[in-house]
Amino acid sequence: MNWQSVREAYPNQWLIIEAINAYTNPDHLRVIDQLRVVEQCSDGTSAFQRYRVLHTEYPEREFYFVRTSRKVLKIREVQWLGVRGIHAAYPER
């Protein structure tokens, strides 16, 4: 699925998504060409908690928690210095 299809299928909901086909562009934004919906969540807090569980269980997979009210899915990749490693990504506000 693409982001527009997900927004139409799950309007105004919190979701856990997995990037199936993605890359980082020169502006350090993750471009997700293909994704799948992993889970629907009741609110942002439960989405974040479920994301943390999934990320811990499957660290090699690319999960995000998102709200489908966003017209454009903008996820900025950030380099971290410290315990988590050198790369992380988060949705832009």
Structure confidence at residue 73 (pLDDT): 93
How many residues belong to the chain?
Answer: 93
The residues, any chain, with a CB within 8 Å of residue 85's CB and separated by 6 or more, are none
Structure confidence at residue 77 (pLDDT): 87
Our count of domains for the chain comes to 1
Structure confidence at residue 46 (pLDDT): 97
d(CA 68, CA 11): 6
pLDDT-above-70 percentage for the chain: 85
Helix (H, G, I), strand (E, B) or coil at 58: coil
The pTM of this model reads 0.81
Bridge-based pairing of strands 87-91 and 63-67 is unpaired
d(CA 76, CA 79): 10
Q: Is the model's pLDDT at 59 over the cut of 80?
A: yes
Range of the domain at 52: 3-91
Helix (H, G, I), strand (E, B) or coil at 93: coil
Structure confidence at residue 78 (pLDDT): 80
In the structure, what pLDDT confidence band is assigned to residue 88 with cuts at 50, 70 and 90? low
Amino acid at 21: N
Q: Is the model's pLDDT at 1 over the cut of 60?
A: yes
